């Protein structure tokens, strides 16, 4: 079976869900977000169903779902719960899955574990969503370094936003990591626009 992909980001709101929807639509994969916070404002699962143009059956329910739009450990605490990593098991699905994280790789899950520990347990290959704008070099290189120190398989970085050639070159040079795709500003996010971006702006061989 083709390896699952874990979409993480250099920050919150960086474009993980758009990237996840793009990969679901373009690679014909299933979608799963194990930990969802901010559910009171809508879920990323619902967004992926809408943007990727798939049915809810192409996605899997969250293992943990919290209303507060805060870090997973804090969201759980505010609802009187604790996120147990042992309770997060890959869905029984023969299809490869696009797994979306919450926040970045060092976001706390509970008093002991970070998001990077969940990635390691799920044994998925990592795709990093990074902004194309000022500040992205530092944030992206730190994320790449954390993934490597955890011995995670790294597919590469996807730049999200208006093209910045200098930032892209710097990330590839100093991070020794490939930028495998770019998602430009989209006036409308839907299945056809996402597939078009994948065809025009992604290194498709990186995802085979």
Tens-digit pLDDT profile for residues 53-79 = 999 999 999 999 999 999 999 999 999
Phi, psi dihedral angles at 174 (to 5 degrees): -80, -25
Pairing assessment for the beta strands 97-100 and 30-32 based on DSSP bridges:
parallel
**Would you place residue 8 in the very low, low, confident or very high pLDDT band (cuts 50, 70, 90)?**
very high
CATH code for the domain in which residue 115 is found: 3.40.50.300
Q: How many domains does the chain have?
A: 1
Q: Does an H or E element contain 32, and which?
A: strand 30-32
Tens-digit pLDDT profile for residues 173-196 = 999 999 999 999 999 999 999 999
Tens-digit pLDDT profile for residues 15-61 = 999 999 999 999 999 999 999 999 999 999 999 999 999 999 999 99
**Residue of 16, 33, 81, 204 marked active site:** 33
Give the integer Cα–Cα distance in Å for 128 and 153.
11
Concerning whether 169 is annotated as a catalytic residue, the answer is no
Q: What pLDDT is stored for residue 153 in this prediction? A: 96
- pTM of this structure: 0.97
Give the integer Cα–Cα distance in Å for 14 and 106.
15
Question: Is residue 15 within 8 Å of 160, Cβ to Cβ?
Answer: yes
Which residue segment(s) compose the domain that 98 sits in?
Answer: 5-207
Question: Is residue 59 within 8 Å of 25, Cβ to Cβ?
Answer: no
Give the integer Cα–Cα distance in Å for 171 and 160.
13
**Residue 119: which of 162, 149, 163 has the closest Cα?**
149
Place of tokens 């574990």: 113
DSSP symbols for 116-137: HHHHHHHTPEEEEEEESSTTHH
DSSP symbols for 156-175: EEEEESS--HHHHHHHHHHH
């Amino acid at each position: 079976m083709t390896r699952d992909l874990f979409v993480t980001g250099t920050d919150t709101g960086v474009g993980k869900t758009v990237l996840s929807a793009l990969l679901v639509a373009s690679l014909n994969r299933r979608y799963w977000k194990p930990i969802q916070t901010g559910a009171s404002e809508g879920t990323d699962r619902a967004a992926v169903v809408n943007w990727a143009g798939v049915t809810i059956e192409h996605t899997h329910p969250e293992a943990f779902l919290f209303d507060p739009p805060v870090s997973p450990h804090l969201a759980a605490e505010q609802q009187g719960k604790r996120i147990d990593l042992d309770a997060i098991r890959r869905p029984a699905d023969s299809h490869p899955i696009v797994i979306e994280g919450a926040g970045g790789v060092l976001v706390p899950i509970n008093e002991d574990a970070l998001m990077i520990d969940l990635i390691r347990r799920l044994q998925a290959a990592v795709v990093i969503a990074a902004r194309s704008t000022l500040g992205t070099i530092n944030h992206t290189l730190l994320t790449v370094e954390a993934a490597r120190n955890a011995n995670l398989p790294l597919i590469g970085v996807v730049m999200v936003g208006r093209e910045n050639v200098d930032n892209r070159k710097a990330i590839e040079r100093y991070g020794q990591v490939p930028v495998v795709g770019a998602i430009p500003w989209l006036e409308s996010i839907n299945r056809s626009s996402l597939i078009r971006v994948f065809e025009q702006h992604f290194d498709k061989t990186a995802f085979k």
